[in-house]
Chains A and B, each alone.
Chain A
Amino acid sequence: MNGAMPTNQVSPSAQLSIRNVTKVFAGKKGWFDQLTRKTKADFTAIQDISLEIEPNTFVSIIGPSGCGKSTLLGMIAGLMSITDGEIVLNAQPITGPGPDRGMVFQNYALMPWMTVEENIRFAVETVHPQLSAKAMSRVIKENIQLVGLTGAEQKHPHELSGGMRQRVGIARALAINPQILLMDEPFGALDALTRGFLQDEIERIWEQQRKTVIMITHSIEEALLLSDRIVMMTRGPAARVDEILEVPFPRPRNRETIDQHPAYHALKAEMESHLFRETRAVEAARIQRAE
């Protein structure tokens, strides 16, 4: 069950290799900062994380808030620099963003001045400017259909519910046909019911496309429902990967029957105890600092 791979050993079948990655947010230590007494120490968010991600797997990352999950995803997306180590995608080290990675944002990040159709068009046009107008429209239409938004093409985001907005966010990320889909707490801002609908939708789409997905989540049930592997991170600073769980449930999965699998409750209990332990430690450290 404990599938943590020995570091430094590169799996040949991996699509994405995170190799000994460290992220330090630089503090303020210049002469000017010292003069104004506004110095700030360096902050090591992530220390020496290694992770191999196979093609066509759904990987969830879970950990106490503030541990560096978004930071890790940001480095994979190429939005953030890597302090030490490297991230290799298809044998190419990542140096910046690229159309091989699509991103779904927690707050949807739809352009309010664009309609649903225009939001997706913006992405497709940016990545595939050579597409003919006809092919472009077809791609946009297909992806709107995929997330069940047909009929809402000409609406602006503020006319949509949160769930519908995130559907647009997902369609926009998938429309560029990325190899890897990155999702940072994609359903964190939604109510429980809508969240459930969207999880089912993601499960359905994943069965169709089987893209590699890396999803950050706070929800144990969500991780168990959707993932093949669950990466559990320790608390920060200098967060590490604590443990990697393999989720053996057969697919397609169904939220109603999934807890009947013999391994379900043991996995859930393990995740709960990990999260409780790490979160309690974070709280204890915070209380100690306050005293």
Chain B
Amino acid sequence: MTLSNTATGAIAKSKRNAPLINENVQAVGLFLISLIVFLLFWEIGARFGLFSQGMPTASKTLQEFCWWTTHPFFNNGPNDLGIGWNLLISLRRVAIGYILASLIAVPLGVLMGISPVAYKAFNPYVQLLKPVSPLAWLPLGLYVLRDSEQTGIFIILISSIWPTLINTAFGVANVDKDYLDVANVLGASRWRTIFKVIIPAALPNIVSGLRISMGISWLVIVAAEMLLGTGLGYFIWNEWNNLYIPNILVAIFIIGLVGLLLDSVFAALEKFVAFGRNS
């Protein structure tokens, strides 16, 4: 391979750096090789019928991917909607449910973190409701709200509220005692201490909570939409009913990509609020 040549003949100083560069180059190389092997295996396997019948080839799937991504916004009714529209519909549901959840979780988490009484009083709800599968709420949501759109948002809200709530309460309860002493010695008021010291000090925890919640929202929306009318989840469900597998694979890839993008936004935000802490 071309990768191994970089270190040879290098002087001693750059040799010490060489393994680092090599590691990244090797990783990229390995990634590309495994990808090629995987695609070849898929292509050949599908062509010669090694998998179940109707399994599309890699090239067919890539072709579909190119088509869907170059024609994202067409609208021929709910069962024939461009993937861009479906994506926006899913994102909109996630955004509304997630923002509502965060607006509840952060203040409630701050309260639970500050007040041991509030913590003890509300913790049983959290512990009881947190492990419930999001889909368990679906029938209840549909019955109470009688609206698929609102039900989708409700499910996002109820499932993404917990990580933010728990992380916020933890962060607030574990603010470095030194910071509180600083505020106390200065005679800072309760509100000033909360807004200028406690919340900024807990921000790294709050943001990691928000990050986990966002990941959960994105997981849940696809599942929930299979039982609702539109969105990426419904797109997959619809293609399953059409028994057209390439489009399902395209949707899976897009869902993963968008999830990755959302997560990196929060990873960047985490870095931004860390200020040299735990890194």
Contact = CB atoms under 8 A, between A and B. Distances in A.
Interface string B198-227: 001101000000000000000000000000
Nearest to B277: A112
B186 A107 contact: no
Contacts of B196: 122
A99 B187 contact: yes
A109 B178 contact: yes
B95 to A, nearest CB: 27
B interface: dominant SS:
helix
Given A113-B275, A156-B276, A126 B188 contact: yes
Contacts of A102: 185
Contacts of A77: 185
A127 interface: yes
A109 B179 contact: yes
A3 interface: no
Contacts of B184: 78-79, 97
Interface string B129-145: 00000000000000000
A158 B178 contact: no
A117 to B, nearest CB: 15
Interface in A134-163: 156-159
Interface in B166-184: 176, 178-179, 181-184
Nearest to A169: B182
A96 B276 CA distance: 33
**In which size bucket is the chain A interface?**
20 to 34
A269 interface: no
B15 interface: no
B186 A97 contact: yes
A291 B5 CA distance: 64
B203 A126 contact: no
B271 interface: no
B185 A79 contact: yes
B181 A112 contact: no
A189 interface: no
A98 interface: yes
B276 A103 contact: no
Contact of A111 (B185, B187, B197, B273): B197
B154 to A, nearest CB: 35
B192 interface: yes
B181 to A, nearest CB: 6
A107 B184 CA distance: 16
A interface: dominant SS:
loop
Contacts of A98: 187
A109 B182 CA distance: 7
B187 A103 contact: no
B186 A126 contact: yes
A53 interface: no
Contacts of B185: 77-79, 97, 101-103
A183 interface: no
B276 A127 contact: no
A264 interface: no
Interface string B244-279: 000000000000000000000000000001011100
Contacts of A127: 186-187
A157 to B, nearest CB: 7
B200 A113 contact: yes
Given A97-B186, A111-B200, A122-B196, A105 B181 contact: yes
Nearest to A115: B275
Contacts of A78: 184-185
A216 to B, nearest CB: 15
A157 B276 CA distance: 8
Interface in A11-48: none
A79 B177 CA distance: 11
Nearest to A108: B178
A171 interface: no
A111 B201 contact: yes
Interface in A90-132: 96-99, 101-103, 105, 107, 109, 111-114, 122-123, 126-127
Contacts of A123: 182, 186
A112 B201 CA distance: 8
A61 interface: no
A176 interface: yes
A113 B273 contact: yes
Contacts of B197: 111
13 contacts: A78-B184, A96-B187, A99-B187, A103-B181, A103-B182, A107-B178, A111-B182, A112-B277, A122-B196, A123-B186, A126-B187, A158-B275, A158-B277
Interface of A: 77-79, 96-99, 101-103, 105, 107, 109, 111-114, 122-123, 126-127, 156-159, 176
Given A79-B184, A113-B275, 15 more contacts: A78-B184, A78-B185, A99-B187, A102-B185, A103-B182, A105-B182, A107-B178, A109-B178, A109-B182, A112-B276, A113-B203, A114-B200, A123-B182, A157-B275, A157-B276
